[in-house]
Amino acid sequence: MATVLYITAHPLDPEESFSLAVGKEFIEAYREANPTDEVVRLDLYKENIPQFDADVLRGWEKLRSGSSFDQLSEAEQSKVARLDAIVDQYVAADKYVYVSPMWNFSIPPVLKAYTDATSIPGKTFKYTKDGPVGLLSSKKALHIQASGSVYSEGPLAEVEMGYSYLKKILQFYGIQSMEAIFVEGTASSERAPAAIKEEAIAHAKEVAKSF
């Protein structure tokens, strides 16, 4: 039995969002194909994801310098403990499904905060004398991203920093298998948005069978 983290970085509902609509269909198809797997939903807009603020950086520095956890301030303790719980949950999972809209060529800030929370030495990667090494080589991931324009090919491909960022970070964790479903071009006049969405849903259902 595998554990799947279904990580959504969108403030709206599937009826209002191309990426969430495709994500929902993917997860339904995945559940059907893998009835004994556990799917854990992480709605990043509802989760407490601490940013790396002064409490976090000072708390970590105190621990590195030999202080015990009890010696941290209350705010430092609660944020450091929450960040520990986030990365531990991440490492314990087997597969990751990320869903996000493209905002300003990239991911929403809450997904960047979550990615920071999962980029922890000793958990998702480690430093060696030959440089950093990923610790999650047995895991796999999927990113469903919606964007108004087309970025998977053509002139805008070089400014795409959503999927490409996530892919690089996950490769840094050692994850080699990263699939993508793009719901893209919905704001261009060339194709009907509904047709783009239906095509992406069909793609998602196909990917779900073997993910």
Ligand X SMILES: Cc1cc2nc3c(=O)[nH]c(=O)nc-3n(C[C@H](O)[C@H](O)[C@H](O)COP(=O)(O)O)c2cc1C
As annotated, the binding site for FMN includes 17-19, 102-105
Stretch of 38-46, 141-149, 166-174, 202-210 lying at the interface with ligand X (CB under 6 A): 141-149
The Cα-based distances of 42 to 49, 89, 91, 157, 210 in angstroms read: 11, 11, 14, 29, 22
C-beta of 88 vs 153, nearer to ligand X: 153
Instruction: Work out whether 197 is an interface residue with ligand X (CB under 6 A).
Output: no
To ligand X, the closest distance from the beta carbon of 51 in angstroms equals 19
Stretch of 15-23, 111-119, 120-128, 166-174 lying at the interface with ligand X (CB under 6 A): 15-23
Instruction: Work out whether 45 is an interface residue with ligand X (CB under 6 A).
Output: no
Residue type, 11: P
Q: Which residue is nearest to ligand X (CB)?
A: 101
Select the residue interacting with ligand X from 8, 118, 124, 186 (CB under 6 A): 186
Which residue positions form the known binding site? Answer: 17-19, 102-105
The string over 33-68, giving b where at least 16 C-beta atoms fall within 10 Å of a residue's C-beta and e elsewhere, is: ebeeeebeebebeeeebbeeeebbebbbebeeeeee
Dihedral in degrees, nearest 10, Cα atoms 105, 107, 112, 118: -120
Q: Which residues pair with 145 in a beta bridge?
A: 100, 182
| Site residues, ligand X (CB under 6 A) | 10, 17-20, 101-105, 146-149, 186
